[in-house]
Amino acid sequence: MKKIKQTFAALGLGLLLVFAYTPDTHAQVVEEGDITAGGGLTLTTGAGFSGEFGISVNGFYSITDEIRAGAEFNLFFGDFAPTVFNIDGHYIFKNEDGLVLYGLAGLGYWSWSWDGPWGSVSASTTGLNLGAGLEYDLGDFLLFAEPKLNTIGGTPLNVSGGLRMRF
C-alpha cells in the first residue's frame, strides 16, 4: 500500500509541474482526423487483483472533433498477471485551453492465469468499459490520466496515465 501511495504522490507532483507549462490557450487540442498513440502505467484493483501495476499501449483516431475511437492493450505484472484488450470510444466534452475532458465507453477482453501449489488456473472474460479521462496539451505530446471501470466479475477499476504522441 505504501508503494501505491508513493506512486500516486509522484504522479501528482509530475502533473503539477506539467501544468506550470502553458500552451496556446485558445486553440482546439483534438481535431477531426487526428491520430494519437502512446502508453504509460496502469493500476488495476478488484476481481481478486490486489492492486497490480502494468504497462499500457494505446492508439486513437478522431472521427470528428467530439468523437474518437481506439484500442488499448494492458499487460499487468503480479500474481494473476492479467492481460487486457480494450476497444473504446471517447466523447469529448471540453477541447480548449490546452485541456481535453472526455467520457468513454467500450468493450474489454480480460485473460489471466495463476500458478498455485496444486496446479495452474486460467480464465478469460469480456465486459463493458465505462470511465472518463483528461489530456493536457504539451505540444506534440498529450499527457493523459484515465480512470475506467470494467464490468467483469468484481468490477475492477483501472487507473492509467502516460503520454500520447500526435501523428
Tell me the sheet residues that pair with 117. none
pLDDT of residue 155: 67
Per-residue pLDDT reduced to its tens digit, 71-87: 999 998 877 778 899 99
CATH number for the domain running over 2-166: 2.40.160.20
All 3 cell numbers of residue 143? Answer: 499527457
pLDDT of residue 55: 96
Element (H, E) at 3: helix 2-19
**What residues contact 115, with CB distance under 8 A and at least 6 apart?**
none
Query: Taking the model in full, what pTM does it have?
Result: 0.78
Nearest one of 59, 80, 60, 56 to 68, comparing CA atoms? 60
pLDDT of residue 45: 80
Q: What is the mean pLDDT of each run of 10 residues along the chain (167 residues)?
A: 56 53 60 93 73 92 95 86 91 89 94 80 89 93 93 80 94
Q: Which of left, alpha, beta for 4 (phi over 0: left; psi -120 to 50: alpha)? A: alpha
Domain residue spans in the chain? 2-166
d(CA 132, CA 11) in angstroms, rounded, equals 18
Nearest one of 84, 88, 40 to 68, comparing CA atoms? 88
Decide: 76 and 100 in contact? Cβ < 8 Å. no
pLDDT of residue 162: 96
What is the number of alpha carbons within 13 Å of residue 140 lying toward its C-beta?
Answer: 1
